[in-house]
Structure 1
Amino acid sequence: MEFHVTDEDLKGISESEDKLVFFANVSARVSEIEDERKRIRLENNRSFSGEPRLPQAFVDKIREISNGAASEEERLVIEKTLFATDVSHIHNRVSIPVRKVKNSFLTEEESNFLRGKNGKGKPKFLDVIVIEPSLEQTEAKLSNWNSCYVIKGTWKKIVRKNGLKSGTVLQFWAFRVQNQLGIAIVERI
């Protein structure tokens, strides 16, 4: 990680000893940031000990959405620690790296569709049902951007309403209601 100090940063620091203290503090902060990034990367790569289950409240919500009809088996897609770009209102999307997907969740037809481009050369998307961590139901768009699936459209609202922050660990579960793809987002505590 590079860190640049300008003359403006050093204004008001007169003694050489004060400058040494300043640089020691900057160095310590840079180390803290690097350690946090390593922790998040390691957490994203950890494996499960045993097969997780979708919490019952989410199973009940899926049943409610489907008017009591049984849904196809819920599948854990990924457990992911959110990064700053995942919760940024400017980006308005969360990425799901294809190589980290634990269980395939798209039909062959959906996969082929998402590989295509629309008339403007932009990635095609599927409308999906979303069950937020708060158990509210909404809709979002699922796209395929090269090596990542991306949930977008209403993502920044989901982030804001559920108080999601960088470092939050989420599980993304796929389910189907009358053949329509849904994503349940479960916050790990």
Structure 2
Amino acid sequence: MHGQGVMLVLEKRLCATDLKRCNGWLSIPRGQIRANFLTSGEIQALDNKEAIAVSLIEPCLQVRHGLQLQKWNNVRNHFSYVLTKEWTAVAHPIARNGLKKGGLVQLWSFRANGDLCFCLVNVEAPPSAEENMATCE
């Protein structure tokens, strides 16, 4: 994709809500973000409740287009970014990505022709059941 400006946005363990088909989103909690990956124009668009179209390189290295980055406001002025739209296809159990509850992933951002893109890396398999309950619930 000839990307530039690669940054590690997030490293997290996947929770059940990230993988539920009925939800259809990957949460990117503000408190876990490691880099300022958005332009001022993108921040303004997200603050105005606009979605940003993004592409994602999946762990299986397939490029998925049609995802959207959105900002969801929670209680007490807390917010999270979320990847929506085509996320369900990325997280689906029959996809070749091997995403599982408790699995450690990294989300990287980069720019391709000026457009915001992401790359999702499956870092490690889920921990044991006891550890999984402590990290995701």
Q: For 2:59, what is the secondary structure of its paired residue?
A: coil
Aligned-partner Cα distance in 1 for 2:104–2:8: 14
Partner of 2:35: 103
| Equivalent of 2:72 in 133, 139, 145 | 145
Ranked by relative contact order (alpha carbons within 8 Å, sequence separation 6 or more), the top structure is 2
Q: For 1:73, what is the secondary structure of its paired residue?
A: strand
Q: For 2:18, what is the secondary structure of its paired residue?
A: helix
Identity percentage of aligned residues: 34
Structure 1 segments of 4+ aligned residues over 4 angstroms from their partners = none
User: Unmatched 5+ residue regions in structure 1?
Assistant: 1-64, 118-123
Partner of 1:136: 62
Matches within 5 A, 1:1-189: 65-66=1-2, 71-117=3-49, 124-139=50-65, 140-146=67-73, 147-160=79-92, 161=95, 162-189=97-124
TM value normalised by structure 2: 0.81
Q: Which has the higher strand share?
A: 2
- Counterpart code for 1:179: G
Partner of 1:8: none
User: Unmatched 5+ residue regions in structure 2?
Assistant: 74-78, 125-137
Q: Which has the higher helix share?
A: 1
Aligned-partner Cα distance in 1 for 2:36–2:13: 20
Aligned length: 115
Alpha-carbon RMSD across the aligned residues, in angstroms, is 0.9
Aligned-partner Cα distance in 2 for 1:125–1:78: 19
Cα deviations by residue, 1:29-60 (Å, 9 ceiling, x for unpaired): xxxxxxxxxxxxxxxxxxxxxxxxxxxxxxxx
Bigger radius of gyration, 1 or 2?
1
Cα deviations by residue, 1:54-83 (Å, 9 ceiling, x for unpaired): xxxxxxxxxxx23xxxx3221000001000
Aligned-partner Cα distance in 2 for 1:184–1:89: 21
Aligned-partner Cα distance in 2 for 1:75–1:163: 23
Once the two structures are TM-superposed, the CA of residue 168 in structure 1 deviates from its matched residue by 1.1
